[in-house]
Structure 1
Amino acid sequence: MSVNKSHDAYQPFTSTSEYIASPELKMAVNAAIKLARPLLIKGEPGTGKTLLAEQVAKHLGLPLIQWHIKSTTKAQQGLYEYDAVSRLRDSQLGDEKVHDISNYIVPGKLWQAFTHEQQTVLLIDEIDKADIEFPNDLLLELDRMEFYVYETQQLIKAKQRPIVIITSNNEKELPDAFLRRCFFHYIQFPDEAAMRDIIAVHFPDIASKLVKEALEIFFDIRNVPGLKKKPSTSELIDWIKLLLADEVPLSVLREKDNSKAVPPLYGALVKNEQDLHLLERLAFMARRR
């Protein structure tokens, strides 16, 4: 089947005013578009995987269709669903529309992307949350850009191949057959220099001294051995937003007393009681020393 790809006219994806992309990530996005392959993005939660799809759509001026996957999501739901319950109810009420089964076919996200008048960016978000068979169940449709609706005997073909971006938090391994069909990129956690650039996007007028102290605390927490949930980029942004809103003095952040292992407004960075207790134990041990 021939599907219009129409990628050659696009300007290559770059960092935007709202999103800092590494050279490797920009290369991956542009390569996937050129190859007309799904782009599989892995990385720690909070490293901007979902936001990437939004920024690619915005950069290219294309509609974004988002399919957020849950543990109960089935691949068939991305194609369409047959609402048999509504049809039964309408038949009991004597509604005439029961005679046309198409009234009870609910298009899924792939259907919407395939039949949209414009080319779209299709985000399949957190694919690893679903059953292990979920990725394989989409192989044929993503390859051929078409699927069959048995209830209405329709063949739904993509008017234009959507740009497919798939995210995974690495909660489970994905099938080899699925991986072979994707262009893969792992988003490395930003180093301090990259994190400064990210902070500058969100807080262009922030004082450099505050950034320095906040980043030092942030990376110190991330480097604590045994931490169950390391703070992510999005949590750092939330924490800085709170520091600015509450006008926390710079002297509080500069305090190097090891007995104060828990930073101010820690609830933005530390997300469970085990990690909080770990930091408190470190503080207790520092006091003993």
Structure 2
Amino acid sequence: MTSASEADWRLFRGDGVPRAVILPSAPPWRRFTPTQAVRPELPYLIEPEHADVVNAALHLRRPLLVTGPAGTGKSSLARAVAHELRLGELLRWSINSRSTVREALYQYDAIGRLRETTLSRDRGEREPSIGTFIRLGPLGTALVPSVTPRALLIDEMDKGDVDLPNDLLTVFEEGYFDIPELTRLPEDMADIEVQTADHRGAVTVHQGRMQCAEFPVVVITSNGEREFPPAFLRRCVRLALPVPDEARLRAIVTAHLGEEALRDADELIAAFLRRRAPGELATDQLLNAVFLRTGGVDLDAEGLLDAVLHQLTGAL
């Protein structure tokens, strides 16, 4: 981002006057490729002892349960592993209070199938395959057999239902799942093609069962809002990421914005560390502030630094 005067950086004036403006370059972590809505891979900094825990999970073919405060890089770790090991596009299952293992494995559009079947019969055409109406979810896609495993991020597991971890035990232990709508089909329909979550085309399900050849690389994140049952924890390798100290923050700024950005970062890093004690702050908030400062933005303007380095907990 090139340096800008105080007036130049204000693209929006709030005066109701339309203007032709050219948006400046986005921060590196907010740039997307034309072909798919994923960010280009950025450097990921990790301590050797933490990388060793990741490697233990890889060797054991066990899910990696990553805990730590917001902004410690839990989700970014999953992207870094997928990128460094060339495991393809990262599959992602974002958890909320309504999430179920069933929807993460596959979705079946029964109403759509009924409608299309009726229309085909009325037109005297062949009925569409049931596989047309089944799409694997991110977890189901991760279990598709392949020479190299897929990488799956299960994000914010602690936001899910209390039974969700236990519901995953069989899948984690056995590495397969059944699609009941296909298991009841006659023998002459043993192989059915279904779609995947990453829209890469159809895969074949044999006799209604999807069995992985290599257990996927699974990274599960948690903000520590809830404890998980022992049976679930026993099947995971645990990694606790600490909040970065000043030296680590300086290294992160350098990795993402270059050595020259440190000239404008000292004051912001100090402010970030002061504010982090009373309330949670994420590291990417510091990167946002440094990015604006290096672009000539006056963060001392009333309320602007507070808007960028706002607390993530407590009342707004």
TM-score (norm 2): 0.71
Aligned to 1:81: 107
CA pair 263-113 structure 1, distance change in 2 beyond 3 A? same
Aligned to 1:270: 310
**In 1, are the aligned partners of 2:69 and 2:243 still within 8 Å (CA)?**
yes
Aligned residue pairs, count: 247
Q: CA deviation at 1:191?
A: 0.8
Unaligned segments of structure 1, at least 5 residues: 1-15, 253-259, 277-289
Q: Is structure 2 residue 97 aligned with structure 1 residue 71?
A: yes
Residues 192-271 of structure 1 mapped to structure 2, 5 A cutoff:
192-206=246-260, 208-224=262-278, 227=279, 230-248=280-298, 264-271=304-311
Letter paired with 2:178? Y
| Residue in structure 1 matching 2:83, options 54, 58, 65 | 58
| Residue in structure 1 matching 2:131, options 81, 86, 102 | 102
Q: CA deviation at 1:218?
A: 0.9
**In 1, are the aligned partners of 2:42 and 2:256 still within 8 Å (CA)?**
no
Q: CA deviation at 1:97?
A: 6.1
**In 1, are the aligned partners of 2:62 and 2:237 still within 8 Å (CA)?**
yes
User: Taking every aligned residue pair, what percent have the same amino acid on both sides?
Assistant: 36
CA pair 36-206 structure 1, distance change in 2 beyond 3 A? same
Across the aligned residues of Structure 1 and Structure 2, the Cα RMSD in angstroms comes to: 2.5
More deviation, 94-103/81-90? 94-103
Letter paired with 1:126? E
CA pair 94-264 structure 1, distance change in 2 beyond 3 A? closer
**In 2, are the aligned partners of 1:39 and 1:183 still within 8 Å (CA)?**
yes
**In 2, are the aligned partners of 1:82 and 1:106 still within 8 Å (CA)?**
yes
| Per-residue Cα deviation, 1:123-156 (whole angstroms, up to 9, x for no partner) | 1111112111111111101111111122111221
Letter paired with 1:160? E
Letter paired with 1:270? H
Q: Is structure 2 residue 140 aligned with structure 1 residue 111?
A: yes
More deviation, 86-95/141-150? 86-95
Aligned to 2:26: none
Aligned to 1:150: 180
Q: CA deviation at 1:171?
A: 2.3
| Per-residue Cα deviation, 1:231-286 (whole angstroms, up to 9, x for no partner) | 2101111111111223449xx6xxxxxxx9x875321111579677xxxxxxxxxx
CA pair 272-38 structure 1, distance change in 2 beyond 3 A? closer
Residues 274-289 of structure 1 mapped to structure 2, 5 A cutoff:
none
Letter paired with 2:57? A
Matches of 1:17 and 1:267, distance apart in 2:
25
| Residue in structure 2 matching 1:32, options 54, 57, 68 | 57
**In 2, are the aligned partners of 1:122 and 1:163 still within 8 Å (CA)?**
yes
| Per-residue Cα deviation, 1:36-65 (whole angstroms, up to 9, x for no partner) | 110000111111111111110111111122
CA pair 73-98 structure 1, distance change in 2 beyond 3 A? farther
3-state DSSP class of the match of 2:80? helix
**In 2, are the aligned partners of 1:242 and 1:265 still within 8 Å (CA)?**
no
Aligned to 1:137: 167
Q: CA deviation at 1:98?
A: 5.1
CA pair 104-205 structure 1, distance change in 2 beyond 3 A? same
Unaligned segments of structure 2, at least 5 residues: 1-40, 184-207
3-state DSSP class of the match of 1:152? helix
Q: CA deviation at 1:175?
A: 1.8
CA pair 134-220 structure 1, distance change in 2 beyond 3 A? same
Q: CA deviation at 1:75?
A: 0.7
